[in-house]
């Protein structure tokens, strides 16, 4: 397998799950620029593209049977560039949201095609390891570009949107190095699934991913306000701290195979307990350093669990249904991204929380309960064996 192909495939990670987050450093500046616009609407500038990923995700399986994957990737990247960069030239929140929607349409074309190519070229532990590498590239690339966005935010919110222009380089790589035809399989695909609904476990993986992203995206949609309102720093600091969570995603992706080997089935419960602790620490944060540690742990936890869900989803169906399974997974994932500020603001209203700290505490409790449930699921077979031995 050519190195240029692998590098190109990994580079696509930069335009997938974390792409909407690159606009996060602009949130506080946009609140100042458009004082008559509701906070929720401005927060949607970060997450709206996640909603509009859904239309193309739902039809990409149909399109992939009629168009080459390379052509779909090129189309997706063109839409990505248009939707990502054009808002820098606009003066109206409504039009900014329109182009954020176009960004989402582009991402929706790219994601399932990328993951289908991975499933075609890699299998077993190689696929698990490569999904970890994809997560790592997504994290380190996002860290670099969101840091750049934070720096540019000191010059004004428009500069943040110029960071999306890096996709032009990826577009060139796609044109040069992604083959137009499918790879030749060395063995036949057996037990091909019949047409119909996807397995229930595939849906459950998608719902778990949605919940994960609802929690994770509380960071980019609220961190700017939390840091500046508590006088912990300015917009450039927001960029650096958010980038720290993405750097943690990079580290977790590189460690994923080792973590799986060390913790085995206990990996997910352990990470969920750590995840809960990070939000509890954020609730108690009294300095930028406490926030930085919290955000780092949040990124590490997200970067560990998400590749596991991707791998489990691809394994839950036969190869000919991977595109459909990935479309479902990422549809629910981006519903979670989009709805994160809506869900969190609703929770604050329902429970009458006075501050973001209360919201972070609530999230810690939810994650703690999830960790306990996950641990019980892992321990269930051992408990049964113990009962049978004592019986």
**Smallest Cα–Cα separation from 157: which of 34, 53, 334, 328?**
34
Q: Return the HEC string of 191-225.
A: CCCCCCCCCHHHHHHHHHHHHHHHHHCHHHHHHHH
Q: What pLDDT was estimated at residue 182?
A: 55
State how far the Cα of 30 lies from the Cα of 189, in Å rounded to an integer.
51
Q: Above 80 in pLDDT, residue 79?
A: yes
Count of all residues that appear for the chain in the document: 391
User: pLDDT grade, residue 17 (50/70/90)?
Assistant: low
State how far the Cα of 42 lies from the Cα of 52, in Å rounded to an integer.
16
Q: Per-residue pLDDT tens for 120-150?
A: 888 878 888 888 888 888 888 777 777 777 7
Higher-confidence residue: 368 or 249? 368
Radius of gyration, CA atoms only, the chain: 21
Domains along the sequence of the chain with CATH: 3-179+198-390 (1.20.1250.20)
279, 290 Cβ separation under 8 angstroms: no
Count of alpha carbons within 13 Å of 105, Cβ hemisphere only?
12
What global pTM score does this model have? Answer: 0.75
Q: Per-residue pLDDT tens for 243-259?
A: 788 788 889 988 988 99
Q: What pLDDT was estimated at residue 235?
A: 64
Listed in sequence order, the residues at least 6 apart from 49 whose beta carbon sits closer than 8 Å to its beta carbon are 19, 20, 83, 100, 101, 103, 104, 107
State how far the Cα of 126 lies from the Cα of 106, in Å rounded to an integer.
28
> Mean pLDDT in the chain?
85
Listed in sequence order, the residues at least 6 apart from 168 whose beta carbon sits closer than 8 Å to its beta carbon are 81
Q: Above 60 in pLDDT, residue 188?
A: no
Q: Per-residue pLDDT tens for 318-334?
A: 877 887 888 888 888 87
Tell me 23's DSSP state: G
User: pLDDT grade, residue 28 (50/70/90)?
Assistant: confident
Six-digit token string for 11: 């580079």
Where does residue 384 rank: exposed (0-12), middle (13-18), buried (19+ CB within 10 A)? exposed
Q: What pLDDT was estimated at residue 271?
A: 94
State how far the Cα of 391 lies from the Cα of 387, in Å rounded to an integer.
6
Torsion of the alpha carbons at 96, 101, 103 and 104, rounded to the nearest 10:
150
Six-digit token string for 307: 């590749």
* DSSP for 49-93, written as a single string: HHHHHHHHHHHHHHHHTTS-HHHHHHHHHHHHHHHHHGGGG---H
**Smallest Cα–Cα separation from 239: which of 13, 28, 11?**
28
Widest CA span in the chain: 73
**Smallest Cα–Cα separation from 241: which of 298, 287, 296?**
296
Listed in sequence order, the residues at least 6 apart from 330 whose beta carbon sits closer than 8 Å to its beta carbon are 17, 53, 57, 108, 111, 112, 209
State how far the Cα of 204 lies from the Cα of 82, in Å rounded to an integer.
34
User: pLDDT grade, residue 101 (50/70/90)?
Assistant: very high
**Smallest Cα–Cα separation from 331: which of 110, 100, 56, 134?**
56
CB atoms within 10 A of CB 15: 28
Q: What are phi and psi of 178, to 5 degrees?
A: -85, 125
């Amino acid at each position: 397998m050519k190195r240029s192909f692998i590098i190109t495939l990994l580079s696509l990670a930069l335009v997938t799950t974390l792409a909407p987050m690159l606009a996060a450093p602009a949130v506080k500046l946009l609140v100042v620029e458009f004082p008559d616009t509701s906070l929720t609407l401005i927060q949607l500038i970060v997450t709206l593209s996640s909603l509009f990923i859904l239309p193309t995700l739902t039809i990409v399986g149909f399109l992939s049977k009629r168009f080459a994957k390379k052509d779909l990737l090129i189309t997706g990247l063109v839409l990505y560039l248009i939707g990502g960069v054009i808002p820098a030239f606009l003066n109206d929140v409504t039009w900014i949201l329109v182009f954020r929607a176009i960004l989402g349409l582009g991402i929706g074309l790219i994601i399932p095609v990328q993951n289908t190519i991975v499933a075609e070229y890699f299998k077993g532990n190689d696929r698990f390891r490569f999904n970890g590498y994809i997560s790592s590239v997504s994290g380190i690339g996002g860290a670099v570009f969101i840091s750049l966005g934070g720096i540019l935010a000191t010059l004004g919110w428009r500069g943040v949107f110029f960071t999306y222009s890096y996709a032009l380089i990826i577009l060139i790589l796609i044109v040069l190095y992604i083959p137009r035809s499918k790879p030749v399989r060395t063995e036949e695909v057996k037990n091909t699934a019949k047409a119909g609904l996807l397995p229930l476990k595939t849906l459950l993986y998608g719902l778990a991913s949605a919940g994960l992203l609802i929690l994770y995206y509380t960071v980019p949609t609220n961190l700017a306000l939390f840091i500046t309102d508590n006088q912990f720093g300015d917009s450039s600091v927001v960029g650096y701290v958010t980038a720290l969570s993405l750097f943690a995603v990079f580290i977790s992706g590189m460690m994923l195979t080792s973590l799986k080997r060390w913790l085995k089935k206990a990996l997910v419960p352990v990470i969920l307990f750590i995840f809960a602790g990070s939000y509890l620490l954020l609730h108690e944060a009294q300095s930028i350093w406490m926030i930085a540690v919290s955000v780092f742990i949040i990124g590490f936890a997200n970067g560990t669990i998400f590749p596991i869900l991707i791998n489990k989803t691809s394994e839950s169906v036969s190869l000919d249904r991977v595109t459909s399974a990935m479309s479902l997974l990422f549809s629910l994932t981006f519903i979670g991204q989009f709805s994160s500020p809506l869900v969190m603001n609703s929770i604050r209203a329902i429970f009458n929380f006075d501050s973001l700290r209360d919201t972070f505490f609530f999230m810690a409790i939810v994650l703690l309960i999830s960790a306990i449930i996950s641990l019980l699921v892992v321990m269930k077979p051992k408990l049964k064996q113990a009962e049978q031995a004592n019986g």
